[in-house]
Every structure is written in structure tokens, then in C-alpha cells.
């Protein structure tokens, strides 16, 4: 258990502790749908999310949930990858804190846990992508010690 501050209105008082749980069962995945949809609004249904989770899990994707008491406050989806550029690294596919819980330290707690997981998994780096338009996310990542080291280029292929 990790203590977390309730927010600026409470002058930094430490409240109940948070817990991390891996989401490994379908029922738990479905319970995460409302929160992941805040990050991925294009996911049209719980069923679509479940199917994608199943496919990605077969490729090493793990979903880590951050709980404060009985409330799910954050999610991180990640996988271990290896390439010639970075060696062995953790790639964070998804990172979201519930909109009603932001600016309370949960993002920092989740990021620290991801860094620790990466070290335990024998990785030298943690990488993620942030949309160019996501300036608040970019500021958060800079504050967490992540640096912008490249631009990602992409093109949609015709069907």
C-alpha cells in the first residue's frame, strides 16, 4: 500500500493507501471499460475492448490497475519489447487517470510503478507515445523525467 495525498484542498494530508492489481480476468477487464474509454473513446463497446485486450494479451500486453479504496483511479497498459534502437524496453500503450481524480498524485504513483516494473523485467528504458496535441500529457511526462527523443511518423494504408 502506498499513501496518496487527497489533493491541494487538504494541505497535503495523507489519506488511505492505493493498491495495484493486474487485470488478468475478463470480468475485471470489463470493469475497466469506463476508465479506458476516457483515453480511447473510439472503443465503442465493452465487447470491443475485451476482444482487443485478449488479442494484445496474447502478444504480452499487461493491464495494471491503480485503486484508491474501492475506486479504480488509473490504468496502464504496457508490454515488453526489444529492438535494435532501444534494446529491451517497456512500451506503455495506455496510461489514464480518471478525469475526476487528476492532479492528486495518482499519475506520478502509476508512472513510478511502471518504471519499477520495467527494471524488474530487465529493461533499460520505458517508452510511450504522446499525441502532438496532448500538451497536458506532455508536461506531465516531462515532470516524470521522460524526454521527447523522436517524432513518430505514420500513414493509414488503404483498405
**Of the options 3.30.710.10, 3.40.50.300, 3.30.930.10, 3.40.630.30, the CATH number for the domain spanning 2-143:** 3.40.630.30
pLDDT at 1 over 90: no
Considering the chain, what is the average pLDDT of its residues?
91
Question: Domain spans of the chain?
Answer: 2-143
Mapped onto helix, strand or coil, the DSSP state of residue 6 is coil
Region 1-15: mean pLDDT is: 46
How far is the first Cα of the chain from the last one, in angstroms, to the nearest whole number? Answer: 48
What are the b/e assignments for 48-87, b being 16+ CB within 10 Å?
ebbebbeebbeeebbbbbbebeeebbbbbbbbbbeeeeee
pLDDT at 13 over 50: no
pLDDT of residue 102: 94
More confident residue, 7 or 90: 90
pLDDT of residue 6: 47
Region 34-44: mean pLDDT is: 97
Amino acid at each position: 500500500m502506498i499513501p496518496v495525498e487527497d489533493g491541494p484542498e487538504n494541505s497535503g494530508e495523507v489519506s488511505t493507501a492505493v493498491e495495484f492489481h493486474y487485470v488478468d480476468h475478463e470480468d475485471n477487464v470489463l470493469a475497466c471499460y469506463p476508465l479506458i474509454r476516457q483515453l480511447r473513446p473510439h472503443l465503442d463497446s465493452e465487447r470491443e475492448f475485451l476482444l482487443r485486450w485478449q488479442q494484445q494479451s496474447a502478444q504480452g500486453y499487461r493491464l495494471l490497475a491503480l485503486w484508491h479504496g474501492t475506486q479504480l483511479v488509473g490504468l496502464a497498459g504496457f508490454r515488453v519489447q526489444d529492438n535494435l534502437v532501444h534494446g529491451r524496453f517497456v512500451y506503455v500503450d495506455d496510461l489514464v487517470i480518471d478525469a475526476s481524480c487528476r492532479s492528486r498524485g495518482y499519475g506520478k504513483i502509476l508512472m513510478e510503478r511502471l518504471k519499477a516494473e520495467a527494471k524488474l523485467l530487465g529493461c533499460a528504458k520505458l517508452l510511450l507515445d504522446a499525441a502532438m496535441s496532448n500538451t497536458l500529457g506532455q508536461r506531465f511526462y516531462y515532470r516524470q523525467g521522460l524526454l521527447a527523443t523522436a517524432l513518430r511518423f505514420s500513414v493509414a494504408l488503404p483498405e
